[in-house]
Amino acid sequence: MTQSTSHADVVIVGTGHGGSQAAIALRQQGYEGTILMIGRDRAPPYERPPLSKEYLAGDKGFERIMIRPESFWADKQIGLRLGAAVSAIDPHAHRLTLTDGAAVTYGTLIWSAGGDPRRLPVPGAVLPQVFYVRDKADADAMMAALAAGARRAVVIGGGYIGLEAAAVLRKLGCAVTLVELLPRLLARVAGEEIAAFFADAHQRHGVDLRLGQGVRAVLGEEAGRVTGVRLESGEEIACDMVVVGIGIVPAVAPLIAAGAAGTNGVDVDEFCRTTLDDIYAIGDCAAHANPFADGAVIRLESVQNAHDMALVAAKAILGRPEPYHALPWFWSNQYDIRLQTAGLSLGHDQTVVRGDPASGKFTVAYLKAGRPIAFDCVNTTKDYVQARKLLESRVGRIDPALLADPEVALKDLA
Ligand SMILES: Cc1cc2nc3c(=O)[nH]c(=O)nc-3n(C[C@H](O)[C@H](O)[C@H](O)COP(=O)(O)OP(=O)(O)OC[C@H]3O[C@@H](n4cnc5c(N)ncnc54)[C@H](O)[C@@H]3O)c2cc1C
């Protein structure tokens, strides 16, 4: 059987934050060519952050996490091909092959395929009550297990997604044990003060924290039901569901196979161009030299990065290139705690705490050679807003004593 071939001037792979925003930005910037979005997910474009927060908790239904109402895409003449994955790219013929055998040719390609959850590499990890949190289908499967009576959860991974899932599961009345391989929480993304604060908050909410502990196996009955988790120490923790949040693997295999450069994701320049002609990459999978990391080549996994890169790619496609220089920012909600992060703390050599963590409201400033490079703001939105301005102004050295004084507004330190 011969499969169909279709064409669009701009083809976008991935219907997540970056892909959707790229299509929206192209239209907003006046692009009149044909646009087709191809996405593996069957659901129309939706926001991912609520999957470990309000959506999982049942506080927001799907229609409230959709990026745009379903009719929007047709109204803007943006084609949506859902439930379709790209398996190969021929960069010379400007041609994509889909897993169902269909072909799509493109004038320009924007790759925004995000990442796949890193799988737990232990026996038993394929049991049906072992859940990841990346797609709507993952959250739905977890919610179905909860509705079917799961009440004891082991969360593996003490990063933001694991912590958010733990907070929601506690709110829903589950007994929660959280296992983290490293000696503290949030080791990859936040300083020790923030880690200690969240460890304390989760313990106060009844989470049994196991830090510095590896997982040896997920245990189950022959019928396939999870019954527990065995730690490296040999201890067994009984549970009826396991939630894994141990990071992602960038979804770039077809691009790399087509010859694009990249080791951790796919390499892009300041205009989000890959090393292949007419192929851009944005979002979680795009490795770039970030000016807020002193030019280090990094990937960022945040809505900010996906959105801002989408705009950069759209402008470059329209012939009005502007380099990617946006300030990184991020947020996380757990219980009644709202964390807002501005900048990147990577490489900091000093931290300064503003306010008293015991009060539940405080800010941590991260400094490198005396210069603030990032702020973690816990229930201190005013600090966050002013910190963003401070970082955007590329402020120089600041006296740590002034930074530490909550009576001194950050905006007055610019
Ligand atoms: C549970 C959760 C909570 C989060 N919370 C926050 C938060 O609080 N704040 C924050 O800033 N960020 C948060 N993030 C991160 C943020 O959602 C991501 O950084 C953002 O979604 C990245 O956008 P993206 O377009 O790169 O990838 P995605 O949004 O992941 O979209 C990629 C899409 O590509 C599809 N795809 C993959 N391979 C193919 C293929 N071969 N063919 C076709 N389609 C393909 C995928 O199915 C997916 O739909 C969270 C992420 C998760 C999973």
Span 358-397, pLDDT tens digits: 999 999 999 999 999 999 999 999 999 999 999 999 989 9
Token digits for 127? 């049991």
* Distance from Cα 203 to the centre of ligand 1, integer Å: 29
Residues in the chain: 414
Collapsing DSSP to helix, strand or coil, 249 comes out as strand
- Who contacts 158 (Cβ-Cβ below 8 Å, separation ≥6)? 178, 179, 180, 182, 184, 185, 186, 187, 209, 211
User: Could you give the dihedral angle defined by the CA atoms of residues 372, 373, 378 and 380, in that order, rounded to the nearest 10 degrees?
Assistant: 60
Tell me, in angstroms, the distance from the centre of ligand 1 to residue 167's CA. 21
Q: Whose CA is nearest to atom 29 of ligand 1?
A: 16
Instruction: Measure the CA–CA gap between 414 and 397, rounded to whole angstroms.
Output: 10
- pTM, to two decimals: 0.97
Taking the centre of ligand 1 as the mean of its atom positions, its distance from the CA of residue 34, in whole angstroms, is 24
Q: Which atom of ligand 1 is nearest to the CA of 133?
A: 1
Residue to substitute in 11, 12, 17 for testing ligand 1 pocket (most ligand atoms within 8 angstroms of CB): 17
Distance from the CA of 17 to the center of ligand 1, in angstroms?
A: 6
Q: Which of 303, 338, 340 most suits a substitution to test ligand 1, by most atoms within 8 Å of the C-beta?
A: 303
For residue 2, the model assigns a pLDDT of: 52
Tokens of residue 291, six digits: 């000016």
200 to 196, 209, 334: CA distances (angstroms): 6, 10, 12
User: Residue 71 has which token pair?
Assistant: 């009719």
Indicate which atom in ligand 1 lies nearest the CA of residue 283.
26
What pLDDT score was predicted for residue 222? 79
Ligand 1 center to 353 CA (angstroms): 32
Ligand 1 center to residue 198 CA distance, Å?
A: 24
Return the number of other C-beta atoms located less than 10 Å from residue 87's C-beta. Answer: 13
Which residues lie closer than 8 Å to 399 by C-beta, 6 or more apart? none
Which residue ranges of the chain lie beneath pLDDT 50? Answer: 1
Compute the distance between CA of residue 206 and CA of residue 223 in angstroms, rounded to an integer. 31
Residues with CB under 6 A from ligand 1: 13-19, 38-41, 48-49, 51-52, 85-86, 112-114, 133-134, 161, 251, 283-284, 301-304, 306, 330-332
- For a pocket test of ligand 1, which of 135, 284, 338 has the largest count of ligand atoms closer than 8 A to its C-beta? 284
Cα 238 to Cα 27, 94, 141, 303: the distances in Å are 52, 52, 20, 35
pLDDT of residue 4: 81
Is residue 381 packed enough to be buried (19+ CB in 10 Å), middle (13-18) or exposed (0-12)?
exposed
Distance 302 CA to ligand 1 centre (A): 8
- Residue type, position 319, single letter: G
User: Closest Cα to residue 313, out of 344, 280, 291, 342?
Assistant: 280
Asked if residues 241 and 148 have their Cβ atoms less than 8 Å apart, the reply is: no
Burial class (CB in 10 A: 0-12, 13-18, 19+), 147: exposed
Residue 54 Cα to ligand 1 midpoint, Å, equals: 17
Quick one: angle between helices 160-171 and 192-204, nearest 10?
A: 20
Closest atom of ligand 1 to CA, residue 51:
1
Tokens at residue 224, please? 């396939």
Pocket test for ligand 1, best of 11, 12, 48 (most atoms within 8 A of CB): 48
Contacts of 301-307 spanning 24+ positions with Cβ under 8 A? 301/115, 301/248, 302/328, 302/329, 302/330, 303/17, 303/47, 303/48, 303/49, 304/328, 304/329, 304/330, 306/16, 306/17, 306/18, 306/21, 306/112, 306/282, 307/17, 307/18, 307/21
Q: Residue 208 pairs with which residues in a beta bridge?
A: 177
How many alpha carbons lie under 13 Å from residue 189 in its C-beta half-sphere?
25
Distance 313 CA to ligand 1 centre (A): 17
User: How much distance in Å is there from the Cα of 303 to the middle of ligand 1?
Assistant: 8
- Is the separation of the CB atoms in 151 and 178 below 8 Å? no
